Structure formats: structure tokens, C-alpha cells
Structure 1
Amino acid sequence: MAPSISIREHVRWLPDPATEPTTTLVLTSAKNHFVDIRILKPTDPKTPKEENVLPLSRLDWAFAGTSSSTPQHDKDGKAFAHSTWKHWVSSRTRDVDGVSDEGDMIPLPNGRTLEKGSNTDSETGVVSEYEELWWEAPVTVVESEEGGGEGRNCCVVLRLQDDEHEARGLVVRVGQYVEGVLRVGESFSLERWEWKGMGKGEGWQRLVRMGDLWLPCGPAMDEKRLKEGGEVKYGEYVWEVVELSHF
């Protein structure tokens, strides 16, 4: 499977109307590692442009793990996929063993994908049927510092598992985006970055950060220094390079 960048356009908890209270971005690697970060938008639309360091109170949900899909057909013979997202680290709970969610991914004529399933509404705490509308953003080549891209997109996955310190983390880069999440005991942190180009004041820019823990998003941007099966060390933590590919 090719790595993908998925952006949510709306969520609908039936029978309520569709809304989009978050900026939700999901990065999925070739081997189906994913990071899904959902940041609540300001409640006041007149809020001035914000700093990119936000309190965790502005987090709707952030989680990471692995996904899988099974081809299906509806009663009319139209193809769709039944997808499962197995959680490995989450902002909502320390105990993710056995936690997953599922949904039917239905392709639409406009190139979007409609996800349908049932889950717990974070506002009401009630399990309800939902719909989410997704579109897949194009992946762009990140240029080198010397100028000029290599003509290939890059995918990087870094993973931390340190049971002694109750630490789990996952960083995924797909092309021009990097997202990472990390839990150490009760502490949780996340980051989201985007490549803005080679112009003055552009380059890699952090879109949001929450929490105080260090995440190796920088190393994921500099893939020439990495090798699959290698390690990124910071303090007492060792992150493994579990994926590194160009496509």
C-alpha cells in the first residue's frame, strides 16, 4: 500500500448534522503504521492566529498504531473496504491492549471516502453511529537544503517501546507532513509539522505541539541520516527506525 495523507472534512454523529470541530490529519505508512491527531478548533471564530504550542485541553484525540483493511461488496455489488485501526498508544487511556475501532470505507464519486461505523461520542460518552468524510491529500516531494528535490517522496516511521518507563511513542512522516505521539506514564505529548517550501522563512514548520516530552520529528525530516533498523537516541529513550522508504 502506498503511504497516505488523510484529512477529515466532517464528522456526523447520527442523527445530528455534520460538523468539523477539529483539524484532523492521519498519516499512514506503507506498512500501515499510522498517527491520527485531532486538534479542537478555537471556539471563537474571531480568535487571532494562535501560537503553535497549545494546552492539552485543546486536544480532542490523538492515537497511533497499525491499520488493516479487508475488501467487501455491498448488496448491489459495489466495492468498499472494512478497516480496523488497532491502537498502540492513545491520549485517552494508558491501557490500549485490545483497543481498536472499525469502520466501512466507502469510495465516493468525488474522490472522497465516507467512513461509517459506531463509536463512543467524546461529548456524550454514548456509543453512536457515525459518519466521517475524508479526502486524500497529494504527497509532495520535500526539497533538499541545497535546493531541488530528489524526485521521490519519503516515508519514515520511528517507534519507541520502553516498558520499564511505561513509554510508547510513534512518529510517522509521509512526504511533507510529520506527526508524532508519545506517552510516558501519565504524561502525553504530540507534534505536527509541515514542509512549506524552500523560500525565506519557510522550510519545515511546526503546526502544533502539546506536552513537554521530546519527540524525534526532526530526525524524521532528515532521512539521509537514518537507516531502516537503526536507532535514534535521546536521553534514556531509544527510538527504532522501523520504516524508511522512498516512493
Structure 2
Amino acid sequence: MGSISPRLHIKWGSDAASEPTSTLVLTSPGRFFVDIRVLRSVLDESRTSSRDAGSPLQLSPEQLDWAIGGTSTSIDLPTQPDGTTASRSTFHHWVSNRTLDADAVADVGDMFPQPDGTTLETGSMVNPATGLNTTYEELWDDQEPQPVPGLPACTVLRQHDDANHTRGLFVQVAQHAQGVLRRGNIFTAERWLWDRESSRWEHLFRVGDPQADSLHDLVPALNTQFHKGQQMEVPSGTWSVIEV
């Protein structure tokens, strides 16, 4: 069905562990992923502001820490003497808010399952606060997908038009959905959650230029019986179904 992974904390070097963002990674069975990290402080502040009922929080690009779409691979590492098992995951970036050349970026982390069901990731990467390559650890919660009656277990949509500098990736896993879209220098990231009480998708937030194309038309289409290779025309462009 895929995986739903909210992050619980990040720790840089010898610094104390903290969670300054609302980070969620959705990964399909075919290993397509969308990873969106919004600054928690501005997200909490925006929640208290007035907005139209049913409309998403509109956040500025400065309120987005990181948003990535791509694919991941994983290999098992040798079992440790104490019996501990681990795997090494490589995340191949395809579209990102941080760079136009996402293909040149891949990050690697070692994953250690914890007794409480969480996963501890360790590795090294550039700390955006210092600009220096630094060791890190991230603690991830692996949530159980909750199937929604009448909706697919997983859907992956992609928009790809390099001639027009356009790349987009949308991943829905059970009750969660996220999408990212880059068109030239304009980048948009959005997140949804299925509300079981109202039986509808709640559009949690949208990050980017308010005038940029939104991905909101993709979510109602999830009621459609998609098949791989199908194309869908919506205001944000032509999207291809690459996994169902």
C-alpha cells in the first residue's frame, strides 16, 4: 500500500534533538515519494489566523523548509554483532524547491528500526543553518495506512515537460496526499488529509505564489478508476498516472 512517515525529530551533530517542521514523507509501493517540510512555527501561527472555511492555509515560499519529489532505493546492511539490522536508503531527487537541477542531488541515510516501531535515520548532509556538511539523525514514525472506502490505496501522478521546465509529482497513500510542482522558477507544494467525519479531502496547506497553478483538481479525480499510463488534463497541466 505504501508508507506514511511523519518525522518526530532531527538532530544535527551534538545539538539537542528538535522538530522545527511539520515533515511528512509519502512513499508508494513502487518507491515514488513526496517529502514536504513546512516550518512548524509559521504553520501554527497561520492556523490561528482567519481564513475561509474549507480553504487551505496559504504559506509563502519562505515558510517552506524543503519539498522534494523523486524515487528511493534501499539495500540491507550487514547484521550487527548484537543482532541489530539496518538498511541504507538512497533518495534520488527529481523535483525540489531548493534547486532547478534536482537530478544532480541524491541523499543517503542508514535506517535502524527501533523497538517502539519508529525508525532512526543517520547520515551526513549540509546543515542549512551553517552551510556545512554535518552528521545528523532523524527519527521517523511509520504510520499504518488507513484505507478509505471508494478511494484507491495508492496513486502516483507525474507531470513531465522539460522543454517548458515543468516537473510535478503527486503521491496519495490511503488517507494522505501530497504534491509538488515546479514550472521554471515557480514552485508549489500542497498537502491533504482525508476527513472521515465529513467524507472529504481537507486541503491542509499550499506553499508558493498564490497566483501559481494549484494541484487541488487532482484530489477529486482520485474517485476515478485510474489505470497506469492514463493521462489527465486539469488546469495545472497534463498529468500521467504512473502507479496505481
TM-score of the pair, normalised by structure 2: 0.89
Cα drift, residue 220 of structure 1 = 5.3
What RMSD over aligned residues (CA atoms) do the two structures have, in Å? Answer: 2.0
Cα distance, 1:117 vs structure 2:
0.2
CA-CA distance at 1:196 after TM superposition: 1.0
3-state SS of the aligned residue for 1:241?
strand
Query: Which runs of structure 2 are paired with 1:171-186 in the superposition (5 Å)?
Result: 171-186=170-185
Gaps of 5+ in 1: 145-149
* Aligned partner of residue 53 in structure 1, secondary structure: strand
Superposed displacement of residue 30, structure 1: 0.7
Q: Deviations over 1:40-90 (max 9, x none)?
A: 012697775245111111100000100000001254142100000000000
The answer to whether the Cα contact below 8 Å between 2:42 and 2:63 also exists between their aligned partners in 1 is no
Separation in structure 2 between the aligned mates of residue 170 and residue 48 of structure 1, nearest angstrom: 26
1:170 matched to 2:174 = no
Contact 1:65 1:88 in 2 (8 A): yes
Aligned counterpart, 2:64: 59
Distance 1:194 1:43, change over 3 A: closer
Alpha-carbon shift at residue 154 of structure 1 (Å): 1.0
* Partner in structure 1 of residue 127 of structure 2: 121
Task: Quote the residue 2:54 is aligned against.
Answer: none
Is 2:201–2:219's contact at 8 Å kept on the other side of the alignment?
no
Q: Which one-letter code corresponds to 1:166 in the other structure?
A: H
Is 2:106 aligned against 1:100?
A: yes
Paired residues, number: 233
Write 1 or 2 for the structure with the bigger share of helix. 2
Listed one character per residue, the Cα deviations across residues 86-137 of structure 1 (whole Å, up to 9, x for unaligned) are 0000000001122100000000111000000001111111110000000111
> Aligned pair in 2 of structure 1 residues 220, 35: CA closer, same or farther (>3 Å)?
farther
Q: 1:107 and 1:203 mapped to 2: Cα distance?
A: 34
> Deviation string for 1:11-34 (max 9, x for gaps)?
000110000000000000010000
Question: Which sits farther off after the overlay, 120-129 or 28-37?
Answer: 120-129
Q: Which residue of 2 aligns with 1:69?
A: 74
> Which of 126, 136, 159 is matched with 1:130 structurally?
136
Structure 1 counterpart of 2:228: 228
**Letter paired with 2:200:** G
DSSP-derived class of the 1:97 partner: helix
* 2:5 equivalent in structure 1: 6
Q: Distance in 1 between matches of 2:156 and 2:97?
A: 19
